[in-house]
Amino acid sequence: MKKRIAAMVLAGAMALSLAPAYGATEVKAEASDMKIAMVTDSGDITDQSFNQTTYEACKEWAADNGSDFNYYKPESDSDEARNASVDQAVADGANVIVLPGYMFAATIVEQSEMYPDVKFIAPDVSAGDICEKGVGEGYTYNPDDYEVTDYYNADNVYCCTYQEEVSGYMAGYAAVKFGYKHLGFLGGMSVPAVTRFGYGYIQGADEAAKELGITDEVELEYVCGGQFYGDADITAYMDTWYGSKGVEVVFACGGGIYTSAAEAAAKVDGKVIGVDSDQSGIIGEDITVTSAMKGLAPTVKTALDAIKDGNWESDYAGKIDNLGLVSENPEDNYVQLPMDTTQWDDNFTVDDYKDLVSKLYNGEITVSNDITALPETEIAVNDYGSIK
């Protein structure tokens, strides 16, 4: 049951097609001929998180390589608006389009065949996301049921997801090793990536508590905000956590929702853990214990390099990678904690962190990516569902 969408004739021929002829050897592209566009999801390029990290990576690569770059913000949070932004980018001459986040699954399904000469880079878009849009809302992806390529033109698309559960694990493990015993998790919307971060966080905190012999002393509060931005209601909820509940540190995971955690933490000398990128600069170095990062910037830059160097077809086209640990060296990995700004102390040092990464990389420690139910733990975990 393949879904095929009729190709449209573009208004005006594109200045350059970066796609090789069928059967031909792919050649290097002149960077100056690469017209790069990025479309934001429901956020914008000042969200200090997913969109901003992707935007800055595209902008920096384009500046370094002499390529044109523009970004587009959809007029609304809808598939139609995101598709319209892609249409506009192509009309403006874009031949490489970066689409960050699972919300672009429908765009990949609909636009990849419509614009076969455009290369799409889609960080954080999974096979399940694409199949759900191809089969229908609520479908749970099973590779035995369908081929994901039934629903999009894989020849011009690169997708990847990240092992958020691993960097979440690192953050939870570090927090307990640092001495925090009452932890919180504030997610944005309860989407798979957010849940993987959260469940990894729980697993890391639980393991550290076991190692320290304090499982009966560690407690973790868990809630999602139901949105990817902070507001007065969520800040009030965090005020209760930091205040009457005595939560010491909150992992704020989901776009701009960190603002509510940071605002509440600042009132009582509480702490926050950032997400996606090193957020210490925006949350505050004194407040930010660490950040559970994933490699959006290197993903975008290496994919753009592949187009420039003639390796797109062999190394990227049609792939849906799951990126995580590729080395015992923490800074080489797609999931990590920031080496320079994490609040290391004698209880958990940089060397201790490197040892943790080595054990994760070598398989001595495994982190479950199962998000069907809260992980089983020896520490107490209180799940409050969603605030909104």
The CATH number of the domain holding residue 128 is 3.40.50.2300
| Residue 132 pLDDT | 81
Give CA torsion, residues 285, 288, 293, 297, to 10 deg. -30
Is residue 146 assigned to a domain? yes
Q: What is residue 276's three-state secondary structure?
A: strand
> Could you tell me how far CA 201 lies from the centroid of its own chain?
15
| Residue 188 pLDDT | 95
Cβ atoms within 10 Å of 327's Cβ, excluding its own: 12
Do 348 and 250 lie in one domain? The reply is: yes
Is residue 71 assigned to a domain? yes
Q: What is the pLDDT of residues 65-90, one digit of tens each?
A: 999 999 999 999 999 999 999 999 99
Residues linked to residue 294 through DSSP beta bridges, in sequence order = 335
Is residue 43 assigned to a domain? yes
Do 99 and 226 lie in one domain? The reply is: no
Q: Per the structure block, which two tokens stand in for 369?
A: 């990516």
Sign for the pseudo-dihedral over CA of 153, 157, 163, 165: negative
| Residue 10 pLDDT | 38
pTM of this prediction? 0.84
- Tell me 193's DSSP state: H
Sign for the pseudo-dihedral over CA of 347, 349, 351, 356: positive
Do 242 and 271 lie in one domain? The reply is: yes
Is residue 20 assigned to a domain? no
- Tell me 379's DSSP state: S
Do 172 and 149 lie in one domain? The reply is: no
Do 42 and 108 lie in one domain? The reply is: yes
Is residue 331 assigned to a domain? no
| Residue 26 pLDDT | 62
| Residue 268 pLDDT | 97
CB-CB contact of 278 with 258 (8 Å): no
| Residue 21 pLDDT | 41
Cβ atoms within 10 Å of 358's Cβ, excluding its own: 16
- Tell me 385's DSSP state: E
- Tally of domains in the chain: 2
Measured in degrees and rounded to the nearest 5, phi and psi for residue 37 equal -130, 150
Do 286 and 377 lie in one domain? The reply is: yes
Do 137 and 245 lie in one domain? The reply is: no
Do 77 and 190 lie in one domain? The reply is: no
Do 132 and 103 lie in one domain? The reply is: yes
Question: In sequence order, what are the residues at sequence separation of 6 or more whose Cβ sits closer than 8 angstroms to the Cβ of residue 38?
Answer: 54, 55, 58, 69, 70, 71, 72, 97, 98, 99, 100
Is residue 121 assigned to a domain? yes
Do 73 and 188 lie in one domain? The reply is: no
| Residue 16 pLDDT | 41
Task: Identify the segments of the chain with pLDDT beneath 70.
Answer: 1-27, 48, 136-146
Do 286 and 374 lie in one domain? The reply is: yes
Domain extent for 240: 165-293+337-386
Is residue 8 assigned to a domain? no
Is residue 12 assigned to a domain? no
CB-CB contact of 4 with 134 (8 Å): no
Do 241 and 375 lie in one domain? The reply is: yes
| Residue 214 pLDDT | 98
**Element spanning 150, H or E:** none
Cβ-in-10-Å burial (0-12, 13-18, 19+) of 294 comes to buried
